[in-house]
Amino acid sequence: MEYKLDFITYSNALKKNRLLGLKCCQCGAITCPPKMVCQECTDTDLEVVQLSGNGEIKTFTTNYVAPLGREVEAPYTIVMVELEEGPWIAGNLIDIDPAKVGMELIGRKVKLGHKIFPGDQYSAGDAARPLFSFYDEA
C-alpha cells in the first residue's frame, strides 16, 4: 500500500501555510492529518487536496508541563479545530494568554498558520506543526 500523502510532503506544505488533506473518491470525506485510508469509510482511493485552514475551536487544553526538551514553551494552549472541510486537527493557539483562557474559546473561528519545531531526541528533525490564530477578530 502506498502513502498518497506522506508526512514529509504534508510538513513541507505546512511550512508554506498550505494545509493538505486527502479526499475520498468513494464517500467524499476529507481526511487530515493524512492517513493510509479514509477516516470515514476506510477506502484507499484517495486524492490530495488543499484545505482552507479555517475552522472552529471545538475543545482545548492548556499544558503547564511540557514534554522533555520543550519546557520553555509551557504554558501553551492546544486546540482541537473542526476545519471547514470536516476533519478535526490539533494545533497550538497563539494570540492569547494561556493562563487566562476559558470556555469562551469554544466556537471561536480560527485560521491556520504554522511553526517550525526543532527536532529533539524523539523525532527525525525539524517539523512544521499547525498553529491557529483568531479569525473572527478585527
Please give the residue ranges that form the binding site for Zn ion (CB under 5 A).
24, 26-27, 29, 38, 40-41, 43
**Torsions phi, psi for 77 (to 5 deg):** -105, 130
Q: What is the CA radius of gyration of the chain?
A: 16
Which CB sits closer to Zn ion, 26 or 61? Answer: 26
Smallest separation (angstroms) from Zn ion to the CB of 24: 3
75: preceding bond cis by omega (within 30 degrees): yes
Smallest separation (angstroms) from Zn ion to the CB of 43: 5
Closest CA to 89 of 135, 22, 25: 22
Smallest separation (angstroms) from Zn ion to the CB of 14: 23
Which CB sits closer to Zn ion, 41 or 66? Answer: 41
Smallest separation (angstroms) from Zn ion to the CB of 44: 9
Which CB sits closer to Zn ion, 51 or 112? Answer: 51
Which CB sits closer to Zn ion, 23 or 114? Answer: 23
CA 57/CA 26 separation, integer angstroms: 28
Cell triple for residue 133?
Answer: 490564530
Where is 86: in which H helix or E strand? none
Smallest separation (angstroms) from Zn ion to the CB of 18: 23
Contacts for 38-45 with beta carbons within 8 Å, 24 or more apart? 39/87, 44/1
Which CB sits closer to Zn ion, 27 or 116? Answer: 27
Residue whose C-alpha cell is 492548556: 62
